[in-house]
Structure 1
Amino acid sequence: MDYLILLSSIAFGAVTVFAFKLHEPRHVKLFNSFTGAFLLSLTLLHLLPELYHDHGHQHSGEDMERQALMLGVLMLAGFFVQLALDFISMGIEHGHSHPLHGHAPYGVVAGLCIHAFVEALALGNAETSYDPRSRHLLLLSIVVHNYPVSIALVGMLLHWGMSKRRALAVLALFAAMAPIGMFLSGHFVWLAEHSRELMAIVIGIFMHIATTILFESGEAHRIHAGKLIAIIVGTALGVGAVLLH
């Protein structure tokens, strides 16, 4: 079921492009403003606090401090991993859709695939996760986040001149990355035993994406009304997801 949930947002993204034609940059930026606020809310209200919850009871003294520091280092690593991926994917993860100037979009696709794969490594399965509730909220976060990313990806491919069939094939490749990451982390013992550390990396990735989206200003360094509404709605739904989950 979780695999179908991961694939569903990609499918909805394709429908949004081909049926409703909502792949213009202004639409993608609104979708991403909502997503950024949603990710930030879930990260600050649940994923980050739960990362350290009960962790101290498993260690004592200097060992506890060392483990806590390691989680912080991994979050920073996730932040800078996403920063590096931005150079490859051209920032599509947070709403940027730059012209390719005739160049094939292989680097962009590779960056997005790596991004989707790494995010899903923290999912694993409910039996091996350090906190099943955090896993469920992470799954929700990835689904919500991948929706505008898939729209931006297909829109970019079509603008480059790729046929619909080939664009859908590339989208299918991107869609497969998260299920593959989740499968590997759920079936390889080493990955399953380090779900907390993998979550720390993903939190760093989320923090980079969310802050980049939310602090990116428009003309005259102002946030227009549409983006503000999207941020408010995304924040409200993120808070609601944490409270109701």
Structure 2
Amino acid sequence: MDRRNLLKALAGLAVCPLCSATGFAAEGAHWSYEGDAGPAKWGDLDAANKACSIGSQQSPIDIIAPVKSQLPPLKLSWAKTADSIVNNGHTIQLNFSEGSTLKLGDTTYKLVQLHFHRPSEHLIGGMNFAMEAHFVHRAESGALAVVGVLMAEGKANATFGKIVATMPAKEGPAVKADAAINPNGLLPAKLGYYRYSGSLTTPPCAEVVEWLVLSDPIQVAASDVAGFAKLYPMNARPAQKSNRRYVLQSS
């Protein structure tokens, strides 16, 4: 599947490779994070997943020796609530209504959904974190920009605590999200970031993502990480080869 068709497919899935518009797992070959359907086999499970095994710009990566650069600031304008929350069989995901945006340079992206991985998928100098949040944005062109937030165990985070307290325990349809869940509460005080071109970290692993990984992690309670881990003890793809890609770091 070429880049243009992958973009069209992603648009049809509302940018969510994990679920359909109703929140259930997408049709196609079953995949997981271990065993015969684990990350090493994703590319063999379905012809649409070939990028998982033969792609040259796969994500996540271990961020080593980034290059300091004059990058544009991340201009985030998000609503203070989420629309719905869903356990889609691979992670916990929150979906957002129209109106929340990311402006990066001259491009405006709409916030579509937020989901979590344990442990973090991106590594910084060989070190991973307890978890990672991915805020998925889509431009009118179909281009994707994902803001990654690294999560370390420490002080409690009210937003993540509310997500863990209200997340569906079993896979099923999306339900209304608690009004107290404010996505802005999952951001660090400073929005410095690493930027590189990569892919979705789940099948079909399409190489259509502008990655914006925030350099400062947030802190979340160890008890909340443990609560998430009761549902998903491990749902992170291993780090992929950088293949000489430059990672830029905002100054």
What's the TM-score, normalizing by structure 1?
0.31
Larger radius of gyration between Structure 1 and Structure 2: 1
* Structure with the higher fraction of residues in helix conformation: 1
What's the TM-score, normalizing by structure 2?
0.30
| Higher RCO (CA-CA < 8 Å; seq separation 6+) | 1
* Structure with the higher fraction of residues in strand conformation: 2
